[in-house]
Structure 1
Amino acid sequence: MKRVAQACLVMGLTLGSVFPVHAAREALDKVVAVVNKEALMQTELDTRMDSVYQNLRQRNITPPPREQLRQQVLDRLILDTVQIQQANLSGIKVDEQQLASAIASVARQNKMTTAQFRRLLERQGLPFSVVQEQIGRELLINELRQRRVGQRIHISDQEVDIFLSQQKSELNSTDYHLQQITLNLPDKATPQQVAEVESKARKAYQQLIDGEDFAQLAIRISDDDFALEGGDSGWRRGSELPVLIADQALVLDINELTQPLRSPTGFHIVKLLEKRGGLSKLITETQARHILISPTALRTEAEARKLISSLRERVKNGEDFAELASNYSDDKGSAGDGGSLGWAGPGKFVPEFETAMNNTPVDGISPVFRSPFGFHIIQVNGRRSQDIGRQVLLDQARQQLYKRKFDTELENWLREIRSAAYVEIR
Structure 2
Amino acid sequence: MHRLSRISQMKHFLLAFLAAGTAAFLAPLAHAQSVQPLDGIVAVVNDDVILRSELDRQLTQVQAQFANNPGQLPPRDVLEKQMLDRLVLQKLQVARANDSGIKVSDAQIDHSLTQIAQQNHMDISQLRGAVQSQGLDYGQFRNTIRDQLLVQQLRQQIGQSRAQVSDAEIDSLIKNGRVRTEQLHVAHIVINLPEGASPEQVDATRAKAENVVREVRDGMDFAAAAIRYSNAEDALQGGDLGWRGVNELPPALVEAADKLQDGQITDPLRGPNGFHIVKLVGKRDSGAQLVTEYHLQHILIKTSELVSSEQAKQQIDAIRKRIVDGEDFAKAATESSQETETARLGGDMGWSPANAYGPQAQAVIDKLKKGELSEAFEVPPGWHLLKLIDTRQADKAGEMQRNEAKNMIFQRKAEEEYMSFLRQLRSEAYVEIRLPGSETPAPAAP
Shorter chain as denominator, the TM-score bin is 0.7 to 0.9
* Structure 1 residues 112 and 315: CA distance shift in structure 2, 3 A: farther
Matches within 5 A, 1:373-392: 386-388=394-396, 390-392=398-400
* Structure 1 residues 390 and 273: CA distance shift in structure 2, 3 A: closer
2:144 — aligned with what?
Answer: 134
Residues in 1 aligned to 2:312 and 2:272: alpha-carbon distance in whole angstroms? 60
1:195 — aligned with what?
Answer: 203
Conservation of the 8 A alpha-carbon contact between 1:13 and 1:139: no
Cα shift at 1:251? 2.1
Cα shift at 1:65? 3.2
Conservation of the 8 A alpha-carbon contact between 2:190 and 2:230: yes
1:178 — aligned with what?
Answer: 186
2:113 — aligned with what?
Answer: 103
Residues in 1 aligned to 2:207 and 2:195: alpha-carbon distance in whole angstroms? 18
Residues in 1 aligned to 2:356 and 2:257: alpha-carbon distance in whole angstroms? 29
Residues in 2 aligned to 1:313 and 1:112: alpha-carbon distance in whole angstroms? 39
Conservation of the 8 A alpha-carbon contact between 2:312 and 2:382: no
Cα shift at 1:90? 0.7
Cα shift at 1:259? 0.6
2:10 — aligned with what?
Answer: 16
Residues in 2 aligned to 1:344 and 1:103: alpha-carbon distance in whole angstroms? 34
2:99 — aligned with what?
Answer: 89
Say whether 1:359 aligns with 2:369: no
Q: 1:316 aligns with which of 313, 317, 320?
A: 313
* Structure 1 residues 50 and 282: CA distance shift in structure 2, 3 A: same
Name structure 1 gaps, 5 residues minimum: 1-9, 291-309, 321-336, 369-374
Residues in 1 aligned to 2:72 and 2:383: alpha-carbon distance in whole angstroms? 49
Residues in 2 aligned to 1:418 and 1:289: alpha-carbon distance in whole angstroms? 57
Conservation of the 8 A alpha-carbon contact between 2:73 and 2:228: no
Q: 1:277 aligns with which of 285, 293, 313?
A: 285
* Structure 1 residues 180 and 389: CA distance shift in structure 2, 3 A: closer
Normalising by structure 1, report the TM-score.
0.74
Conservation of the 8 A alpha-carbon contact between 2:114 and 2:123: yes
For 2:251, give the aligned amino acid. V
Per-residue CA shift, 1:30-58, capped at 9, x if unaligned? 11101112011111111111222333458
Cα shift at 1:115? 4.4
For 1:100, give the aligned amino acid. D
For 1:182, give the aligned amino acid. V
1:249 — aligned with what?
Answer: 257
Say whether 1:157 aligns with 2:167: yes
What SS does the corresponding residue of 1:235 show, helix, strand or coil?
strand
Cα shift at 1:245? 0.8
Conservation of the 8 A alpha-carbon contact between 2:159 and 2:413: no
Per-residue CA shift, 1:256-292, capped at 9, x if unaligned? 00011122332111111223322342224689999xx
Q: 2:73 aligns with which of 63, 85, 103?
A: 63
Normalising by structure 2, report the TM-score.
0.71
Matches within 5 A, 1:226-305: 226-284=234-292
For 1:244, give the aligned amino acid. A
Cα shift at 1:411? 2.2
Which deviates the most, 255-264 or 407-416?
407-416
Residues in 2 aligned to 1:364 and 1:60: alpha-carbon distance in whole angstroms? 61
What SS does the corresponding residue of 2:270 show, helix, strand or coil?
strand
* Structure 1 residues 208 and 89: CA distance shift in structure 2, 3 A: same
* Structure 1 residues 319 and 376: CA distance shift in structure 2, 3 A: closer
Cα shift at 1:380? 8.4
Which deviates the most, 64-73 or 132-141?
64-73
Instruction: Give the structure with higher Rg (CA).
Output: 2
For 1:212, give the aligned amino acid. M
Residues in 2 aligned to 1:289 and 1:247: alpha-carbon distance in whole angstroms? 53
What SS does the corresponding residue of 1:256 show, helix, strand or coil?
coil
Conservation of the 8 A alpha-carbon contact between 1:173 and 1:237: yes
Residues in 2 aligned to 1:250 and 1:71: alpha-carbon distance in whole angstroms? 35
Matches within 5 A, 1:306-345: 313=310, 315-318=312-315
* Structure 1 residues 141 and 278: CA distance shift in structure 2, 3 A: same
* Structure 1 residues 123 and 387: CA distance shift in structure 2, 3 A: same
Identity rate of aligned residues, in percent? 34
Per-residue CA shift, 1:95-150, capped at 9, x if unaligned? 23322222222222223344443444345454443322211111100000111133
2:47 — aligned with what?
Answer: 37
1:296 — aligned with what?
Answer: none
1:213 — aligned with what?
Answer: 221
* Structure 1 residues 122 and 14: CA distance shift in structure 2, 3 A: closer
Cα shift at 1:358? 3.7
Conservation of the 8 A alpha-carbon contact between 1:149 and 1:413: no
Cα shift at 1:29? 0.9
What SS does the corresponding residue of 1:151 show, helix, strand or coil?
helix
What SS does the corresponding residue of 1:253 show, helix, strand or coil?
coil
Conservation of the 8 A alpha-carbon contact between 1:30 and 1:41: yes
Cα shift at 1:376? 11
Conservation of the 8 A alpha-carbon contact between 1:238 and 1:249: no
* Structure 1 residues 120 and 228: CA distance shift in structure 2, 3 A: closer
2:20 — aligned with what?
Answer: none
Residues in 2 aligned to 1:242 and 1:173: alpha-carbon distance in whole angstroms? 15
Name structure 2 gaps, 5 residues minimum: 18-24, 301-306, 318-340, 342-349, 369-373, 435-446
Q: 1:394 aligns with which of 402, 410, 426?
A: 402
